[in-house]
Structure 1
Amino acid sequence: MTFYNIDKVPTEIQQELASKFRDIRKNKKISQTQLANKSGVSLGSIKRFEQTGQISLESLLKLAHLFERLNDFDSVFKPQENLKEIEKLFNK
């Protein structure tokens, strides 16, 4: 029996975040160099993020703050309403 998973894998999410970020940066007409100077995130980190999606959490939060998007992280690790479903996973 073959199981198919429609959930995204981490690398897909990384690439999507990088693409969305790059679009925002370009729409605001800010170069990578300008962004590095304003945010305190190294130019190399910004380039790597936009190309591969890899970035430290601290740097990602700095960039989100600069674009006034920190609230986008409010739902990350937010407790689920029905914790009984999570408990079932540990009881198997």
Structure 2
Amino acid sequence: MLLISLSKVQRKIVESIRERRLQMELTQEGLSQRADVPLSTLRKFEQKGSISLDSLLKILSVVGGLEEIVDALKPKQQHFKSIDEVLKPEEKTTRKRGKRK
């Protein structure tokens, strides 16, 4: 279930990358050269949030955050291996007691 709209996510990504660029004291031109992304692509991204995945990854490799994205996309541990495990009734555990002396 998505709790935030895609447009808000897009804006947050743009703002984060722009902030990282400014913290590194890079101009748009400087970042575009370092990332090997056309300046027009970077400008369009910062204005409208539109960019190819390849260009986004190149930019993230310069400003940082690439590893964070990779870690965030790792699959979560599965709790169930099949639908049968989901549907089977819970097994009742019997209480065990120690022997009295």
Compute the TM-score of the two structures, normalised by the length of structure 1: 0.75
- SS of aligned partner of 1:78: coil
Provide, for residues 25-62 of structure 1, a one-character-per-residue CA deviation record: whole Å limited to 9, x for no partner. Answer: 11111000111111111111111111121111100100
Compute the TM-score of the two structures, normalised by the length of structure 2: 0.69
Note the residue ranges of structure 1 that are not aligned, 5 or more in a row.
Answer: 88-92
Question: What are the within-5 Å matches in structure 2 for residues 8-47 of structure 1?
Answer: 8-47=4-43
Matched, 1:52 2:48: yes
Contact 2:21/2:27 (8 A) holds in 1: yes
Q: Give aligned-pair identity as a percent.
A: 26
Contact 2:17/2:63 (8 A) holds in 1: no
Q: CA RMSD in A?
A: 2.0
Note the residue ranges of structure 2 that are not aligned, 5 or more in a row.
Answer: 84-101
Contact 2:44/2:51 (8 A) holds in 1: yes
Pairing partner for 1:63 from 41, 59, 63: 59
Instruction: Give the helix-richer structure, 1 or 2.
Output: 1
Contact 2:35/2:62 (8 A) holds in 1: yes
Specify whether residues 23 and 83 from structure 1 end up closer, same or farther in structure 2 by C-alpha distance, changes over 3 A only.
same
Larger CA Rg, structure 1 vs 2: 2
Instruction: Count how many residue pairs are aligned between Structure 1 and Structure 2.
Output: 81
Specify the code of the residue in structure 2 equivalent to 1:49: F
- SS of aligned partner of 2:71: coil
